[in-house]
Amino acid sequence: MPYLTDYSYNQLLERVPIKDIDWIDRAFFTKNIFDNEYLYYFFNQLELKRLWKERLLLSKDKENIGAFQEVPTREDNFDFVLSIEGKVKFHKDSDCEALHKGFKNFFMPEPVVELKETDEDKYKMLVQKVRQWFKENGFTVRDYEEGKLTDRRLTSAFNAYFPEKYNIPEIVESQNEESQFRWFIEKKTKRAVAVERSFEYDQFIVDITDLIRKRSELCGSKTMYNLSRYDFLRKKTKEEILKRIEESIENEYLKEVQPVFLENYGIKRLVQFWNDHFKLKIQAMNLLSDYFKWTYNYNLDTFDEVFLEDYNLEKCKMCYELLPNDFN
């Protein structure tokens, strides 16, 4: 009976293909996903498809769930010194020790990260060099935690080697311990990834109604309702936002928005509006997800090991006891 964290659950959701569906319209949404037409307008097509997929997956609707296809391997995240590799894991149950270890790593220093935008080849090359340099010098999480390795020591060692050899700026060294560049990152695992969440249907309806009211207060006009569907642009630059919105007005995907409106309203305010809208949407998504889980009685037996392995998730070596006892 495999146990999935929120992360691995979402990974599974991303990987499972469903039978092609071009466009989820309002009628489809209210009939097959959730019977409330106001909720339909919270989401864009990508999000609607994700909700549909989650419902299918939990209902075990074999008709509509596609067979395993080539699943891309996890992409390396170049932001960190210790590379994150391997398949996404599932556990025997929520007591597994690995779930409580958290995430520990070292940040790539700023002079390297800056290159991401300007010279990607050099950036990737330097990421590898920094990783290699860590290995060769034997810099480890354990030494850092025990105080044998400090930010100051890492920074001076970096500055003594990389800037001259690779023609990049130094990491700014500060006399003040507080403002030193911090190499280390630690994230604790969130508790309560349990499958048996409490769910009250009546409260769920109250919460959904509340979100619909908040969204209508936030938007208030046709222009803003239509613009809300572009909240995926909230992290883009001003130029990218303007370009995309202007194109969409021209193609008539985006109606009831005059080009001059953006000038008057201001991009900063628009981004704030999108952030607020996105927050409401995430809450709505989570509520619906909990509702699906409750409807289909999601529990440790919902997905079996074979099913998960089909989608390229793998057993955690720790709790499935695939390693000798003295591991770690």
Residue 4, interface with Zn ion (CB under 5 A)? no
User: What residues contact 68, with CB distance under 8 A and at least 6 apart?
Assistant: 310, 311, 312
Residue 91, interface with Zn ion (CB under 5 A)? yes
CB of 82 to Zn ion, least distance (A): 20
Q: Which is nearer to Zn ion, 93 or 263 (CB)?
A: 93
Contact 32, 55 (CB under 8 A): yes
Q: Which of 98, 141, 195, 212 binds Zn ion (CB under 5 A)?
A: 98
- b/e burial code for range 178-216 (CB count within 10 A of at least 16 → b): eebbebbeeeeeeeebebeeeeeeeeeeebbeebbebbe
For 59-127, the DSSP string reads HT-TTTBPPP-PPPPPPP-TTBSS---SPPEEBSSTT-GGGGS-EEEEBPPHHHHTHHHH-HHHHHHHH
Q: Which is nearer to Zn ion, 25 or 97 (CB)?
A: 97
Q: Which of 96, 168, 257, 313 binds Zn ion (CB under 5 A)?
A: 96
CB of 162 to Zn ion, least distance (A): 37
Q: Which is nearer to Zn ion, 149 or 318 (CB)?
A: 318
Which range in 26-34, 93-101, 112-120, 169-177 contacts Zn ion by CB under 5 A? Answer: 93-101
For 93, phi then psi, to 5°, come to -160, 180
CB of 96 to Zn ion, least distance (A): 3
Residue 33, interface with Zn ion (CB under 5 A)? no
78, β-bridge pairs: none
The token duo for 73 is: 């391997």
Residue 316, interface with Zn ion (CB under 5 A)? yes
Q: Which is nearer to Zn ion, 8 or 105 (CB)?
A: 8
Q: Which is nearer to Zn ion, 24 or 316 (CB)?
A: 316
Residue 193, interface with Zn ion (CB under 5 A)? no
User: How would you class 51 by CB atoms within 10 Å of its CB: exposed for 0-12, middle for 13-18, buried for 19 or more?
Assistant: buried
CB of 93 to Zn ion, least distance (A): 8
Interaction site with Zn ion (CB under 5 A): 91, 96, 98, 316, 318-319
